[in-house]
Structure 1
């Protein structure tokens, strides 16, 4: 669905995107992570032909971009850097104008398309209200509604849950899940680990303009070679395992072991009560911290 080769964007001496080799496959739920300023939005804008690359190649839906961007745009829904709208007009009128500009299909079906899009994002009840009176979360929903007018094969979203409360984030996640199950490939960029962790199946991590990691999320969550054990007698676990306990937090212990079943059998055979036992796996936070070296808001003292 999306392939880039040696994709690079420079602004003067600043390298915003550096030799990125991106691969988004059909049916993916691909999450692009990275701190603010890591190059995510610049990369997204190049995928949509909004910014020209300094060097490299882009292929979207089998076509070169930006050369053939007009051929693929009808099959793409996008929300980048917040939705644009006429503030004095309602959400329905804004979507109608957007549709008339070429986002949707036949004119006679326009009213239905707009209504369906508003309904899917949860704005059907307030579509007569001027957009200037919308909250930030409502504006995000309106932008997503505009992306859905195309009935897209590919959704490209930049921070799609910005401004939404927890319930709104869950609703948008459920909507994206439904669209993906219906056949839409979803590519979203975010700096929110929880958002990516809850929805995506494939992850890319940006750092200083480079794509430093790209992998299926299931592979990244590999076992660490440790097992967490819960026991009301943690001191007995420590004594029995003879140095294999690496950490203890109350009744929860981290044990160096790669087989929770065998460890559980060993403890039970020794008369130790086990209340919980599980293989320890890397969290997405650990994966990102291991892959990146920068923080977008850290400022070091000069000299």
Structure 2
């Protein structure tokens, strides 16, 4: 079953096409990363999924129901954080969550304090005091926004840059939390331009560029072996004639060797008396995949390249 399905989804703002005929499928139980440079259409797509922006054309289904027509039925089953956390700045974090919980359908009042406390504890704010949100750090605000998304034990989480403002430890904690939620049955969709975070968390990725979805694939497939093996040896000169044309690159004690059986290559070198200090199959990184698919757009305004 797909928890997200779009068909020909398009959004134009005047002459600008922000999202261009996107057909997206996200299966239940996935950890899905939506990647692309700033301005590629990721946030606009997420906003259309939630019914916050109406499409110019095309259709959206969320949890098997058409959006935004069935938003009142679907959205209580969805947790979302889009374009950063929002809050009443003069109120405390717990007070903000209680108001959000009261505003949503289906939440029983007698369980509200427990739900709020559970959500705060899950994001590392269980001991927060009554200080107003305006006194929170950016990382604390981000944690509060994630807590708000978790209030109703959602079936689907849609998170736009959820680790923004977090320190390295906080990033790791959020990653562990999302993996645990996913293993308990929640589908997680993460929109981000941070490739390392998506690579560490997600099992499937979609890449957007210029408003178009240019790739959707399992991460394991994208990072399949390249057909080359990296070999490090204190005697690289002995390897080149031994492998008879299989060496395709050399830098110091490192050689790139054509082949896909690292164990057999290691046995061959050792049998020939060559000492091997490192040997590993080469794989493409997610960064290489994304940069190979997306254009040259960036945040620069000086006409340079990055």
Structure 2 match to 1:144? 146
Please list every run of 5 or more consecutive structure 1 residues that lacks an aligned counterpart in the other structure. Answer: none
CA distance in 2, matches of 1:263, 1:55: 55
SS in 2 for 1:17: strand
Q: How many residues align?
A: 302
The equivalent of 1:156 in structure 2 is: 158
> Equivalents in 2 of 1:175, 1:56: separation in Å?
34
User: What is aligned with 2:36?
Assistant: 34
Tell me whether 26-35 or 241-250 shows the greater mean CA deviation. Answer: 241-250
Q: Could you tell me which residue of structure 2 aligns to residue 256 of structure 1?
A: 258
Greater displacement, 188-197 / 241-250: 241-250
**Does the residue aligned with 2:213 lie in a helix, a strand or coil?**
strand
Query: Would the alpha carbon gap of residues 70 and 271 (structure 1) be closer, same or farther in structure 2, given more than 3 Å must change?
Result: same
For structure 1, which segment, 240-249 or 170-179, has the greater mean C-alpha deviation from structure 2 after superposition?
240-249
Distance 2:177 2:61 in 1: 27
- Comparing 259-268 and 132-141, the one that deviates more: 259-268
Offset at 1:246? 2.0
For each residue in 1:252-292, what CA deviation from the matched residue of structure 2 results, as whole angstroms up to 9, or x when unmatched? 21111122122222212221111221211111111111111
Distance 1:93 1:242 in 2: 71
The aligned residue for residue 70 of structure 2 is 68
RMSD (CA atoms) = 1.4
Q: Secondary structure at the match of 1:124?
A: coil
Counterparts in 2 of 1:143-292, with a 5 A limit?
143-292=145-294
* Contact residue 95 and residue 146 of structure 1 kept, 8 A: yes
> SS of the residue aligned with 1:9?
strand
Q: What is the TM-score of this pair, normalised by structure 2?
A: 0.96
Taking structure 1 as reference, are residues 177 and 4 closer, same or farther at Cα in structure 2, changes over 3 Å only? same
